[in-house]
Amino acid sequence: MSAEIIDGKATAKLVRDDVADGVAELVAAGGTAPGLATVLIGDDPASEVYIRNKRRACTAAGMTDLHQHLPGDADQETAAALIDRLAADPAVSGILLQLPVPVHLDPDALLARIPADKDVDGLTTANAGLLAQGRPGLRPCTPSGVMVLFDRHGVELEGAEAVVVGRSVLVGKPMAQLLLERNATVTLCHSRTRDLAEVCRRAEVLVVAAGIPGLIGPDHVRPGGTVIDVGIHREAGGLCGDVDSAVSEVAGRLTPVPGGVGPMTIAMLLANTLTAARRLQGMGER
């Protein structure tokens, strides 16, 4: 058996097209095009690539690119003042602080200055709290992109055995909460989990975000299960994920790396920015 490949690139395009339609509707209804303020501090080459892709996707969807760049030696006060200015600016619908920031800066203190209704990365404690309580709010882009992959590919979550590997604030924890919100029975694994393979084999839905190339092999996978590989690693042979390619012989459905979860993350950033703009402009939700 060879797993059906879940095409994240194609699904992300559908989401981006929906967002572009939503932006056009907002403007046609008398609103203003959403403005996305990406904030880059320093010149980390990987961050520069991520930011460039986000800015391109933002303008392609008809949004206004309000990118901000501070030099790598900017101090905490300067970075905080920039975020405060963006927070107060009505042209800014969403603020995204690109992480990691240079080591002399405190990222948590900077994130805390982003108002919850402009927090399009869903990383503030306010939005994390809303998610934990199952109340509406802006959700972190990567796990909410995984939820869209499930929905667009007919993956049944209600009552399903779901296992998430990794408990980061960015991916694993919100992923588990989103699955719980949809009535999956969720197990959250981490580096101290005893017998990871045994726990993972229970999963009808397995989401892997551990940051270890090839951590999950065929013996971790329930035959016919759905496997989502969030991991992304640059190796000599190109990009790879946390899931070994041999898993495709056991799983029923599998996301590739590249072309799986990655494109969904940017698409969901756009979706969050549109949601934020609608709310800030009092134009409700679609």
Which residue ranges make up the annotated binding site? 166-168, 232
| Under rule CB under 6 A, residue 256 binds ligand NAP | no
| Spatial separation of the C-alpha atoms in residues 162 and 280, rounded to whole Å | 35
9 catalytically annotated: no
Going by the annotation, the residues of the binding site for NADP(+) are 166-168, 232
Dihedral sign of CA atoms 82, 87, 90, 92 in order: positive
Interface pattern 126-165 for ligand NAP (x via CB under 6 A): ----------------x----------------------x
Smallest separation, CB 260 to ligand NAP (Å): 7
| Under rule CB under 6 A, residue 111 binds ligand NAP | no
Chosen residue from 232, 240, 250, 269 binding ligand NAP by CB under 6 A: 232
54 catalytically annotated: yes
Collect all residues with Cβ–Cβ distance below 8 Å to 153 and sequence separation of at least 6: 6, 11, 253
| Spatial separation of the C-alpha atoms in residues 208 and 179, rounded to whole Å | 13
Chosen residue from 47, 53, 68, 168 binding ligand NAP by CB under 6 A: 168
| Spatial separation of the C-alpha atoms in residues 162 and 203, rounded to whole Å | 5
Chosen residue from 66, 131, 157, 210 binding ligand NAP by CB under 6 A: 210
| Under rule CB under 6 A, residue 243 binds ligand NAP | no
Chosen residue from 191, 198, 223, 249 binding ligand NAP by CB under 6 A: 191
Q: Which of 117, 119, 121, 242 is the catalytic position?
A: 121
| Under rule CB under 6 A, residue 219 binds ligand NAP | no
Smallest separation, CB 53 to ligand NAP (Å): 11
* Residue 132 or 196 with smaller CB distance to ligand NAP: 196
| Under rule CB under 6 A, residue 207 binds ligand NAP | no
| Under rule CB under 6 A, residue 261 binds ligand NAP | yes
| Spatial separation of the C-alpha atoms in residues 264 and 64, rounded to whole Å | 20
Which residues contact ligand NAP by CB under 6 A? 142, 165-168, 170-172, 189-193, 196, 209-212, 215, 230-232, 261-262, 265
Q: Which residues are catalytic?
A: 54, 98, 121
